[in-house]
Structure formats: C-alpha cells, structure tokens
C-alpha cells in the first residue's frame, strides 16, 4: 500500500512538472460558439425571439435551429408534413428565425434529423407522414421480427425509435428533395445534420438493403445471423467473417453516400452554405457501431464541421472522448471540430469547465446542448456567457 501511494504521488508530481514546463493554452479563441435550439422553442415568434436574444446576450454566434424533428417540417415544405407543433398555424418558423437571427448578426443553421423519423409507439395521425405512407422505408433490426415482403413490423410493441433506411432508393430521393428545397427557398448560413447514422449495430436489415447486398455479394446478411438459417450458405468461419465485414462496409457507405449527395447539392446550389454534422464523439465507436465514418467526412471535405456530442458529465470521461478524437483525427483537420458540450445533465459551472478543457486541448469551436436546458432561468448561463466572451 505504501509503495502504491509513493508511485501515485510520483505520477502526480510528474504530471505537475509537465504542465508547468509545457502549459496547455487555454486562450484559444473560439471561432464557432454555437447553440442548439430544440424545435419546442421554434413554435412561435415570441419563443424564437427569446432564444435568439439569449444567444446574442450570452456570446453565441451560431445557432442550430431544429426544423426537422420527426420526419416532418417546421417550415413550408412540399415534401414533408407540417410538424404537429405548428400544424394549426400558417407561421413559418424557419423564415422568421433567419430574418431575426441575421438582424442580430447570428449565423443560422437548419438542424435536420436525417434518418430518425418517429419515436412514439402510436403512429402519426397524418396519413401523409412518411412512416405511415411509406412503411417500406423504415429500417429494421436483426433483433426484432423481420418480414419477408419488405414491410417493417418492428416497434409495434415497444418504444424503439423508427429510422429511415439509408439504403432505400425512396429514402435517398426523399432526403435529396428535402435538402434541395430548404437551401433553395431559405437564406441559410448552414445545414446541420443530426441522426446521420444507423440506430445501432443491429440495424440496416431493411428488405431493400438486404436485396442490394445479396445482389453484390450473393448472400442475404440476415441469413448469416438468423439462428435457424445461419448455416444456409455453408460458409466456414473465415468466409462468414469476411461477408459480415463487408456488410459493415456496405452500411458505412450508405451513410457516407448520403453525406456526399448533400455536399454535392450544396456545392451546386449554395456553395457559401456550411455543412456540419452532429456525431458520436468516439470515432471508432461511431464507425463500427453506428456506421458513421465522420473522420472520413472531414478528411474528404464532405462536411465543414463535425460536432462530436461529448455529453459526458465527469471531466475524465469528457477528456477521454477528446483523446479518442486526438488519436484518430490528424491535427490538420482539427479546425473542423466543434465540440458539443451538454448543459442539460450537469451544473453550469461544470459545463463552463468543459469549455475551458476544450480550449486547452486545441478546440476552436464549441456547441452547447441546449438553449432549452435553462431557458426558464437564463441567468444560470452567466458563467458560460463569460467564458464564451473571452
């Protein structure tokens, strides 16, 4: 025990000396100071005015305003149903927030939940909602019942969120229409992608995706894991492993191809419009569990900013996630990192400290999730505003 204490003391002393000789720079200027504004604060002029005034007063310069939450629209759209939050109104929240945001010198980004389409057990009342009118677009999990005719029957007896299938041609066309419409009609400074991933590693088994993969590889990926059919192809372990690795690559490419198409649309229609994505903070987990290869997106210039959702409450966990990014993302791409920091699950001073940690680690952009965390008592944000104003 004594020896252990001595060793611990020596390590602590060594770290102290290193920090003294090579202090981390906490004076990095935060070029991007973004604030997520959830759709419930986008329902009328009064709520939007409060959110924008808050952003300006507390030293934010970018706002991610949620205008597609559950396969719907908080704007006037030909391709998506009107959100239930504003369905009885003719008000256009996106048009209004852009006008008022620009008047306050704020950059306004349309925050879009890409593949997440619904979260309630009960389906939408609106028959034109994509989950009702196009049930074949819904992704399927290998852990739930899967139909043979391509129509998903998952989520009927639980509250598992419904995601669109990234591989389905109808989904790809729908998302293309959504993006083209929104950047053509609205004077946006950016598009912010959220849920640009699979729900989890067991997803991707939409019938359309299975057929496409089988056409390319001669194997239905579901039959490789289905208990009573796993020996259907008489593959040895090495062959099975190779096919399953290919199935992972197939799903990663499906997501990346959507990002590529969005990038192409923006470059052709609105090259001045920024493209960012909220991503899982650990690049390896993002790539291998959620098939979200955001390190590649940065390296290939497909997005301007990756926003890792580093919502850890403990400082050591927060730093661990930053270290996972440092190990995977070359320094030359770090200008494209905007660190997502939570305000909803911790004290404001803890959020402020994580902004400081981000500065020390060379981060030059942060985004706070979210305005709605303390909007009823905005003075709680004062320490954050003071830190952002440095």
Q: Please tell us whether the domain made up of 28-388 is placed in CATH 3.40.630.30.
A: no
Q: Tell me what pLDDT residue 229 has.
A: 58
Quick: pLDDT tens for 319-374.
999 999 999 999 999 999 999 999 999 999 999 999 999 999 999 999 999 999 98
Tell me 129's DSSP state. Answer: S
Q: Tell me what pLDDT residue 120 has.
A: 86
Nearest to 335 by CA among 24, 25, 32, 27: 32
Q: Give the pLDDT band (50/70/90) at residue 13.
A: very low
Q: Tell me what pLDDT residue 27 has.
A: 59
Other beta carbons less than 10 A from residue 265's beta carbon: 19
Tokens 């020996």, residue located: 231
Question: Pairing relation of β-strands 162-163 and 116-118?
Answer: antiparallel
Q: Name the percent of the chain lying above pLDDT 90.
A: 78
Q: Give the pLDDT band (50/70/90) at residue 233.
A: confident
Structure tokens at 88: 């009885």
Residue 154: burial class (beta carbons within 10 Å; 0-12, 13-18, 19+): buried
Q: Tell me what pLDDT residue 8 has.
A: 38
Q: Which residue has the higher pLDDT, 9 or 94?
A: 94
Quick: pLDDT tens for 100-126.
999 999 999 999 999 999 998 888 989
Helix, strand or coil for residue 365?
A: strand
Q: Is the pLDDT of residue 12 over 50?
A: no
The domains of the chain are located at 28-388
Q: Tell me what pLDDT residue 25 has.
A: 54
Question: Pairing relation of β-strands 305-310 and 274-279?
Answer: parallel
Least confident of 30-44, 129-143, 176-190, 282-296: 129-143
Q: Is the pLDDT of residue 196 over 80?
A: yes
Cα gap 221→87, rounded to integer Å:
41
């Amino acid at each position: 025990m004594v020896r252990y204490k001595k060793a611990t003391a020596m390590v602590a002393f060594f770290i102290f000396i290193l920090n003294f000789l090579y202090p981390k720079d906490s004076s990095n200027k935060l070029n991007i100071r973004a604030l997520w504004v959830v759709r419930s604060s986008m329902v009328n002029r009064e709520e939007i005015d409060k959110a924008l005034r808050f952003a300006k007063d507390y030293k934010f310069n970018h706002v991610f305003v949620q205008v597609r939450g559950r396969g719907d629209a908080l704007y006037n759209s030909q391709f998506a149903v009107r959100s239930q939050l504003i369905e009885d109104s003719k008000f256009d929240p996106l048009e209004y927030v852009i006008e008022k945001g620009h008047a306050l010198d704020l950059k306004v980004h349309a925050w879009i939940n890409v593949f997440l389409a619904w979260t309630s057990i009960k389906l939408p009342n609106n028959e034109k909602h994509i989950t009702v009118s196009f049930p074949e677009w819904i992704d399927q999990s290998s852990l739930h019942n899967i139909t043979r005719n391509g129509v998903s029957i998952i989520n009927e007896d639980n509250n598992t969120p419904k995601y669109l299938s990234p591989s389905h041609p109808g989904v790809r066309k729908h998302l293309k229409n959504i993006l083209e419409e929104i950047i053509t009609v609205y004077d946006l400074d950016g598009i912010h992608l959220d849920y640009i991933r699979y729900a989890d590693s067991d997803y991707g088994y939409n019938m359309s995706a299975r057929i496409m993969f089988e056409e390319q590889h001669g194997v239905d990926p579901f039959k490789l894991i289905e208990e009573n059919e796993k020996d259907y192809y008489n593959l040895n372990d090495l062959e099975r492993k190779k096919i399953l690795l290919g199935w992972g690559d197939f799903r990663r490419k499906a997501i990346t191809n959507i990002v590529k198409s969005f990038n192409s649309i923006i470059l052709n229609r609105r090259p001045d419009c920024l493209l960012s994505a909220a991503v899982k903070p650990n690049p390896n987990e993002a790539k291998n569990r959620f098939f979200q290869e955001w390190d590649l997106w940065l390296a290939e210039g497909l997005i301007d900013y990756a926003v890792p959702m580093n919502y850890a409450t403990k400082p050591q966990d927060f730093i661990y996630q930053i270290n996972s990014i440092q190990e995977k993302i070359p320094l030359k791409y770090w200008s494209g990192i905007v660190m997502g920091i939570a305000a909803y699950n911790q004290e404001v001073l803890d959020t402020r400290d994580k902004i400081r940690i981000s500065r020390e680690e060379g981060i030059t952009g942060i985004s706070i999730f979210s305005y709605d965390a303390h909007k009823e008592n905005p003075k709680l944000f004062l320490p954050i505003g003071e830190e952002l104003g440095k």
